[in-house]
Structure 1
């Protein structure tokens, strides 16, 4: 079930000498004891990632539409690439040219990444799907899965409940204990691997395990600088965050093998067993302890007060949608678009010695049009047609419709379906 069955094992990593910061804290008496109070506030908890596989079979029409979109994604001309999209129930999916080794087709938007099998694949599920964490926050797990079912039914027939391939559970918190206030030996775990991490010299957290269960304890506010999920700031403030102290996250990742062993393999049944999964990880698979040099049996070491706060989180079922505005499309903010334009404009002004921004913008526009119209590959469409084709392709990536492009793609897929039915009927 786990990486190592002996909880007394020390996880594999380079166990160097104690660092100066650890030594200084120990000398100052700042390392926790069993009597030290830990002011830990749980801000929110729930499901961060959910991967589901749906048993079923692809329909003839679903296969034809997917194949048409995939051919468009593989096309050389950008006017044809703009048709690499499928619109279903307010979702605009970008179709990929490939989908990895097992599946034939891949669709992706702000909410879902969907891989679907071809008609000749009998052993594979109809679809393997990832639900984005942003979408889970926005609509909740039950609504997200309901929408996913509706989308998949457009491509084939579903049979039975979906299997859970992976689920990540998390809790966001603030505490007066820094994440580097203990050494490696404080972790008592069944996992074989343990690593600490730093970002630009700043301690960022821990990762434990690499197999069917993995854990991460890290500085979430630091991670937001990369992920830019700024809606989390509002969610934390709604739960009493002061906006100043770092918010950290404890996260457990479960794969299908351990979910079967813990009798939690399918959705929606897994929603009733989230507490069991969390209990297993925080009590049996991993503990943060207060090392006792007098006791060589590490499994008897007392649990750190911070970890005790994690253990008593009252898990029930999947979290409800949260009261926050979440941006679901991938359209860049206006300030990003303006910055890109300003960068190109000022570069042109510097290169041409132009001091008037308006005159420089006009000159840049005219020279850009002349440049692209002179290129052989663009002569058929012309500059304006090529600009619209590229804009349509970018819109697919942003998850928003572009005037005319989505209708053109759907019409092409409709024609492919009609042609297949005519061929089948002999007309």
Structure 2
């Protein structure tokens, strides 16, 4: 999901959605098998102009129980103090190695967890010696790791970290999971007639990113919520460009808009699945998806002769989406990935080139070399005359470099320097 939360809530006072009934989802663990063998993601189905490109887990939040290792607590306290000092001096954060993977130690904790560590693919909250009833460890796994290395490999890595952090760590339980399907379609999803939606929540919101309308959210802030939005527009802001390669592997033409249907399921919604164990939930992915796309949210064809919306038939395009299957990706070694907290080359060079070409057009420079030579002088004049800038250009550059040293950390080098 995007960093920005959806906004502009719309109350459905006129009963926009048909059903408001509370539902307990008693999952049949054999339902996936009863529905037949999962479809192969390399041969996605295409009906009625709707083509499924991929399905998978986009976000995964795990909690682990056990006792935080006393030796690790003292390390974390020391490194947190170093990180707090570094935040003022512009030096890089402290680094910590766990199970052979480097992490950045943050200067601040979160909620009841005094310690936060992170890298490009994991963010973990660790409790102190007085944790109380709070789970001592929360692990958030990135969509990139889940998409590129698979659910099982990602869970296994989280368990290895839990064993390095906790004495007698359990196997973990799911606090939140987001199931998603990416697809292309001939439908203009932004202009779908509102009365065609049938949803168990009576709350709907617009999904905005930097004031750009991307889609809609159903059941916002609830134990279950759904998002339907233009993913090709969203990744321009989130910079998750790796999705393009995954889509192309499954038949994307590189130009069509790719939409995402995503269900966010929190712990309370998953409790009716009989177990929150990640190894058990994976067996229910197909069943969960089928339920939530047919019983919780659905797009229907209007039947003017029937006033009961619950009897309206599913739209053909929605039927295609509801049949998506969730195949685990091949097990991959996550240690081959880059865990450094640095921006990608695509982000740097595509973004910088966009601004430089605008600069060339505005000031009528014909070559990039000429523009690069002239850029510092233009910038210095701007900072000298701008009313809202009370700093020189050189001082501003120095300030931003110091901030980026804190934000973007070469974790591996930091660990090597400590040896």
The C-alpha deviation readout for 1:361-412, integer Å capped at 9, x for no partner, is xxxxxx96xx89xxxxxxxxxxxxx99xx77x84564342475x4345x46x
Q: What residue number does 2:258 align with?
A: 247
When normalised by structure 1's length, the TM-score is: 0.71
Q: What residue number does 1:220 align with?
A: 231
Once the two structures are TM-superposed, the CA of residue 13 in structure 1 deviates from its matched residue by 3.6
Q: What residue number does 1:382 align with?
A: none
What pairs with 1:120-139 in structure 2 (closer than 5 Å)?
120-139=130-149
Q: What residue number does 1:108 align with?
A: 118
When normalised by structure 2's length, the TM-score is: 0.73
* Change over 3 Å in CA distance of 1:168–1:275 after alignment to 2: same
What pairs with 1:345-364 in structure 2 (closer than 5 Å)?
346=374, 348-350=376-378
Aligned length in residues? 347
Q: Which of 167, 176, 180 is the aligned partner of 2:190? A: 180
Q: What residue number does 1:40 align with?
A: 50
What SS does structure 2 have at the residue aligned with 1:195? strand
Q: What residue number does 1:278 align with?
A: 289
* Change over 3 Å in CA distance of 1:264–1:252 after alignment to 2: farther
* Change over 3 Å in CA distance of 1:179–1:349 after alignment to 2: same
Q: What residue number does 1:149 align with?
A: 159
Structure 1 stretches of 5 or more lacking a match?
1-10, 18-36, 354-366, 373-385, 412-427
* Change over 3 Å in CA distance of 1:45–1:114 after alignment to 2: same
What SS does structure 1 have at the residue aligned with 2:321? helix
Q: Which of 54, 73, 81 is the aligned partner of 1:71? A: 81
* Change over 3 Å in CA distance of 1:329–1:13 after alignment to 2: farther
Does structure 2 retain, via aligned residues, the 8 Å contact 1:231–1:326?
Answer: no
Q: What residue number does 2:106 align with?
A: 96
What pairs with 1:353-392 in structure 2 (closer than 5 Å)?
none
User: Counterparts of 1:277 and 1:225 in 2: how far apart (Å)?
Assistant: 30
Does structure 1 retain, via aligned residues, the 8 Å contact 2:82–2:94?
Answer: yes
What SS does structure 2 have at the residue aligned with 1:121? coil
Does structure 2 retain, via aligned residues, the 8 Å contact 1:219–1:246?
Answer: yes
User: Counterparts of 2:201 and 2:117 in 1: how far apart (Å)?
Assistant: 35
Once the two structures are TM-superposed, the CA of residue 91 in structure 1 deviates from its matched residue by 2.6
What SS does structure 2 have at the residue aligned with 1:154? helix
What pairs with 1:391-402 in structure 2 (closer than 5 Å)?
394=404, 397-401=407-411
Q: What residue number does 1:161 align with?
A: 171
* Change over 3 Å in CA distance of 1:281–1:349 after alignment to 2: same
Does structure 1 retain, via aligned residues, the 8 Å contact 2:151–2:329?
Answer: yes
Once the two structures are TM-superposed, the CA of residue 292 in structure 1 deviates from its matched residue by 1.9
What SS does structure 1 have at the residue aligned with 2:164? coil
Q: What residue number does 2:20 align with?
A: none
Does structure 2 retain, via aligned residues, the 8 Å contact 1:57–1:125?
Answer: no
Once the two structures are TM-superposed, the CA of residue 262 in structure 1 deviates from its matched residue by 2.6
Structure 2 stretches of 5 or more lacking a match?
1-9, 17-46, 357-368, 382-392
* Change over 3 Å in CA distance of 1:397–1:149 after alignment to 2: farther
